[in-house]
Structure 1
Amino acid sequence: GTGTGVDVKALLESAILRRCTLTVGDVVRVRVPAPGGGAGAGERDQEHELLVAEVSPEDAGAVSLIETDLAVDIAPSFDYERAMRDVAEREAARLRDAAAARAAVEDEIEARARDAREAAVRAAEDEEVSVRREARAARYREAAAKRAPPEPLDGDGDGELPRVQARDEKARRDGRAARRASSSAE
């Protein structure tokens, strides 16, 4: 039985024995009575259709049921197999999508890490260039300070710093003085 008090084997034998032959592709209808004889709260008999998928010997295509011992194997229904196949396909698609999403995240993490490494290398190179420039500027200032004349010290004369003139300014003044001298000589 099935735990419901129904003898499925007896129901199947009863449905098959009403036939003379079974052919591949035949549908055998098996009625399972509702618990309590169907008189309960709207319960109905259930009817199941069993498809004859194959017969033995396999090359027969049909078998006679008259005075024949039968052995029946019931496989899961085609609807059930289709439903399980659909579930498996959906699960495989979900797993593929999850793997693709995980790969995309890993690619993004790797790209960000690569960008960070490249930025760190550029920053280190920029810092090195800056340090070299600063060192070169310091050497230049030091060399320029060594070439410059010494600064006058307080108490060197009248307390005033000498006036430094640019060469162009001195040349202009000298040129004016020369013109005055030539105009006064005339």
Structure 2
Amino acid sequence: MHARLIALVALLATPVWASDRRAADRIYDQGLRAEFAGDYVRARDAFDKVLRQARAAGLGPEYVSAATYDLARMTGYTCDFVRAKELLLEALSLEQALPAPGPGNVTKRLSELARLSYDQGNFAESAAYYERVVPELERLGVLKLDPNGFANLLDDHAIAVSRSGDEQRAGSIRAKAGDVRSKNAGVPVRFSPVYYRDACVKK
């Protein structure tokens, strides 16, 4: 009898979890569509709702990490840089704590922290994040996947290093970016980031 009761509880619980996941996915999709349309306020509110629902429903650390990351970006795009940084650090910590962190997910979070730190005027911190991002991107094959997008990231890295006071190091990074471009002339950029200073809109 006890075994039958456990089985019944499990059977009844499964559709509830699935329903929660479908509801969260619908809101997530709304957030992504709002982001694509440039409506960062609506996207932020959607991702905030998704994150709260994911935590309450126990949708798992991967889901929470993704929702935290997207909420962080939209929070920054709507000008709350301090809260955006807190959320990005949380998203990075969540991702790194997973049994098998997605390497691409880790670099995304580090890249966003680099850009956000720059826009907060924390140039040395920004440069330090870029120092962590660059070798990881190279390890993941960025020179084949998106060489000129990578060259653009190196430009940003060089600016952060220069603004932090190390012009010699910045010159070396600029030279590397130029070398990548010369070897990949005509190759289209596959990824262009959104910069917080450009996206920031007042509610």
Short-chain TM bin:
under 0.3
Greater relative contact order: 1 or 2 (C-alpha under 8 angstroms, separation 6 or more)? 2
Larger Rg computed on CA atoms: 1
Higher strand share: 1
TM-score (norm 1): 0.20
TM-score (norm 2): 0.19
Higher helix share: 2
